[in-house]
Amino acid sequence: MEAREPRRLSRPAAVTAGLGAGFISGLLGGGGGSIMIPLMTGPLRMTQHVAHGTSLVVITGTAALAAALYSFSEPISAPLVAALAAGAVIGAFGGARGAAKLPALQLRQVFGIFLIAISLRILFWRPADPLLVLPGWHEEAVAGVIGLAGGLCSGALGAGGGSIFVPALVLLLGTGQHEAQGISLWVVVAASVSGAWSYLRLGAVDVDAARWIAPPALPGAVAGVAAAAFMSGRALQVVFAAVLTVIGIQMLLTARRRLRQQRRDAASLAVESA
């Protein structure tokens, strides 16, 4: 199998993916899949689905470390974590199962559009008061719905859970940016475990690549958490949005190029058959 051939694995690219993903995970409260997946489908030559599965495996450990570090400095709401995680685990399982039935380039385009939409919302509509002021269990119920949506994205796209959790917590429930990122990381761990297990069962994980990506992701996460501690909540939001915009555009452009290539190849085959 291609994923098991060492000569096809670019170790520098794998290490770079790990460092970058770990740093983004710690800095922005996500799993770092938005950094890993483009490198996995590019220099590491994975298919889109294998990149998603491998990303989730690496994210599990990276997000767990970053979440633990956030917990030392930020008050983390256990009820919100539990409610988000419950929805996210269910969503991640369903998303991973459904992803195998979707075209890889369609997944790539959906991912890119999603990232850009979230980033524009953060940049141009600065949050003031929370959109929802809910008593008691109502807040946990909304958190469960948020978790379900983020879990579906995490399972289907190999990333994106944190991209939903953090903005939703801040905009809808009025959670502080730093606390939202800490909560998000704990939920990303739960969603990633569920999604990664589904991909492993489907055989859509490049274990050899994960062995090179995961170790550098851990110090990257420590550095990201340290950087976040020195930034204000609004500064983190702007960085969050800028990173999502760049990655989203890159995903759309690469998907467009590959679709064009597929059309050219199909046209060539049609001419040859005629």
If one compares 226 and 194, the residue with the highest pLDDT of the two is 226
Counting the structural domains of the chain, the total is: 1
Which residue is it, tokens 């109502």? 138
Out of 38-52, 147-161, 216-230, which region has the weakest mean confidence (pLDDT)? 147-161
Q: Return the pLDDT at 132.
A: 59
Out of 36-50, 53-67, 103-117, 179-193, which region has the weakest mean confidence (pLDDT)? 103-117
Nearest partner of 155 among 37, 60, 53, judged by Cα: 53
If one compares 71 and 267, the residue with the highest pLDDT of the two is 71
Average pLDDT, the chain: 79
234, 81 contact by CB (below 8 A)? no
Out of 19-28, 102-111, 164-173, 193-202, which region has the weakest mean confidence (pLDDT)? 102-111
Q: How many C-beta atoms surround the C-beta of residue 220 within 10 A? A: 28
Q: What's the whole-number mean pLDDT along residues 79-95?
A: 82
Q: Return the pLDDT at 88.
A: 81
Q: Return the pLDDT at 222.
A: 93
Q: Return the pLDDT at 218.
A: 92
Convert the pLDDT of each residue in 163-219 to its tens digit. 778 878 887 777 888 888 889 888 888 777 877 887 888 888 888 888 889 899 999
Task: Tell whether the model's pLDDT for residue 130 goes beyond 80.
Answer: no
CA distance 150 to 31: 12
Domain that holds residue 238: 2-273
Nearest partner of 206 among 28, 70, 44, 29, judged by Cα: 44
Nearest partner of 143 among 84, 82, 88, judged by Cα: 84
Which residue is it, tokens 């809910």? 134
105, 146 contact by CB (below 8 A)? no
CA distance 111 to 58: 19
Task: Tell whether the model's pLDDT for residue 116 goes beyond 80.
Answer: yes
